[in-house]
Amino acid sequence: FLDIQMPELNGLDYSRMLPPQTRVVFTTAFNQYALDGYKVNALDYLLKPISYPDFLQTANKAQEWFNLIWQSKQTNHEERAKKEDDNIQSIFVKSEYKLIQIELKNILYIEGLKDYVKIYEENAAKPIMSLMSMKAMEEMLPHDRFMRVHRSYIVQKEKIRIIEHNRIVFGNTYIPIGDSYKQAFQDFLDKRS
């Protein structure tokens, strides 16, 4: 809330020095400044003496503006985060005192073993073992590509070729589908069958 007529510097000039995202409500006894107020992107203009209903209406307008801006920023942040997740091509995991980069497209499935995970890749002689929880691994992976199907298994959806007797088959490995994951897995299958 900014008065227009002030000593040494008027409110219009002062409002031009504020950051562009700042919104001002001008208060003045002179209605001839109303048009100038809107030229500097004022949110509203209150004529003195200011009645309580007018003040309340303007305060609510300012609150609505703030909420719209805040929601817009939240939405933009979430969209950027999702795009970043969608663009992830690889992850780094610590294994045997080194960081190893793993291409996501090569991962078949991940097996949890107490405090460790084993990452099984296509055409790899042996899995990569890393000291981390399944929950931490699940959070690293893009949810649109990977799915937890058991408390001990995460699979890459696109790599699933065979499902037999409620188990996912990767070569000689049979991955069970846990009871608490069956509905989400069935929903995934229903969208694709």
Per-residue pLDDT 10s for the chain (193 aa) are: 988 888 888 888 888 888 877 888 988 887 776 666 666 778 888 888 999 999 999 999 989 988 888 787 777 777 766 665 557 899 999 998 899 999 999 999 999 998 999 999 999 999 999 999 999 999 999 988 999 999 999 999 999 999 999 999 999 999 999 999 999 999 999 998 8
pTM for the model stands at 0.57
The C-alpha atoms of residue 173 and residue 111 are separated, in whole angstroms, by 11
DSSP 8-state class, residue 160: -
3-state helix, strand, coil in the chain (%, to 5): 40, 30, 30
**H and E: helices and strands count for the chain:** 5, 13
DSSP 8-state class, residue 96: T
Give the phi and the psi of residue 70 in degrees, each rounded to 5: -65, -45
CA neighbours closer than 13 Å in the CB half-sphere of residue 74: 6
* Bond before 176 cis per omega within 30 degrees: no
Say what the pLDDT of residue 29 is.
Answer: 83
Three-state DSSP state, 176 = strand
The token pair that represents 76 in the structure block: 């933009």
Three-state DSSP state, 19 = coil
Say what the pLDDT of residue 122 is.
Answer: 94
CA distances to 81, 129, 130, 136, 169 from 97, in Å: 30, 11, 10, 18, 32
Say what the pLDDT of residue 6 is.
Answer: 85
Burial class from Cβ neighbours inside 10 Å (0-12, 13-18, 19+) for residue 148 reads: buried
Say what the pLDDT of residue 86 is.
Answer: 59
Say what the pLDDT of residue 34 is.
Answer: 61
Contact criterion met (CB below 8 Å) for 91 and 141: yes
β-strands 25-28, 90-95: how paired? unpaired
Contact criterion met (CB below 8 Å) for 108 and 122: yes
